[in-house]
Structure 1
Amino acid sequence: MSDVNTRHVCRHIFLLNAKVDHMTSFETKDGRISREQVYMLEIIAEEPNITQKQLITRMKKEQTAISRAIQRMADNDLISKTQSREDLRAFYLKISDKGLRLIDDLHDEICEITDDLLKDLSKDEVKNLTQILEKIHR
């Protein structure tokens, strides 16, 4: 791909990310929660007892940022952290009932935002975009 096309694609990815960030900060009774925290909750719900290190790898983010977010979610009783008996540096994460309710409560809002973002695309375009994003994410 030429440098011009690469920069063009990069710019659109950046702008899309900024648009999604702007649209997806959610107000809850316990304060604001970012889309990143919602995604972390979803991953923890899908993989009970995932370690903090595994979550950092999955999120492809800096350890300190993820550690702070995990602590905020633990402080708000959205997740629990359990120290490993084998490796005292490792913590296992598990979503709480409150965290599950939050994900459930935000489901419709997230779907509305996604529908709004994709409203000008056909079903085939949405399918292709999904496949492309999954391929890039691997």
Structure 2
Amino acid sequence: MSEVNTRHVCRHIYLLNAKIDHLTSFNTDEGRVSREQLYILEIIAEEPDITQKELISKMKKEQTAVSRAVQKMVDYGYIRKSQSKEDLRATYLQISDRGLELIDTLDDEICELTDDLLKDLSKEEVKNLTEILEKIHH
């Protein structure tokens, strides 16, 4: 791929990411939940007892940013933290029933936003985009 095409693709990915960030901040009774915070909840739901260190590694974010987001989710009652008895430096994370309910509630909103973003694409284009995104993600 030429440099010009790569820059063009990079710019569109960046703009799409910014648009998704803007659209995916959700109001809850406790306050706003960002896309990043929702992603944290989804990771913890998929990997019960993930350590905070493993979560930071998966997210490829600064430790302080992830720690702040996790603490906010703990304060909201969406996540529980427990300290390892074997390694006092390790903190395990579990999603609460309340966190699972939030994911379920926001799932419909996320699907509506996705449908809106993809409304101008044909079914074949959506299929191709999905395949491309899966290939990039793995």
Smaller-chain TM-score range?
over 0.9
Instruction: Give the alignment of 1:81-92 within 5 angstroms.
Output: 81-92=81-92
Q: Which segments of 5 or more consecutive residues in structure 2 lack a partner in the other structure?
A: none
The 10-residue stretch of structure 1 (124-133 or 89-98) with the greater mean CA deviation from structure 2: 124-133
Say which SS state the counterpart of residue 86 (structure 2) adopts.
Answer: coil
Aligned residue number for residue 23 of structure 2: 23
Q: Which residue of 2 aligns with 1:101?
A: 101
Does 1:12 find its partner at 2:9? no
Write the distance in 1 (CA, Å) between the matches of 2:116 and 2:52: 33
2:118 corresponds to: 118
Paired residue secondary structure (1:66): helix
Task: State the partner residue of 1:65.
Answer: 65
- Structure 1's unaligned 5+ residue stretches are none
Q: Percent identity?
A: 75
Report the Cα distance in structure 2 between the residues aligned to 1:63 and 1:131, rounded to whole angstroms: 32
Distance in 1 of aligned mates of 2:60 and 2:126: 24
Is the counterpart of residue 133 in structure 1 residue 117 in structure 2? no
Q: How far, CA to CA, are the matches of 2:93 and 2:47 in structure 1? A: 9
Write the letter of the residue equivalent to 2:118.
Answer: L
Q: Deviations over 1:65-124 (max 9, x none)?
A: 111100110111110011111221111100001111111111111110011011112222
Displacement of 1:19: 0.5
Instruction: Supply the AA of the counterpart residue of 1:60.
Output: K
- How far the C-alpha of 1:129 sits from its partner, in A, is 1.5
Q: Please report the RMSD computed on the Cα atoms of aligned residues, expressed in angstroms.
A: 1.1
How many pairs does the alignment contain? Answer: 138
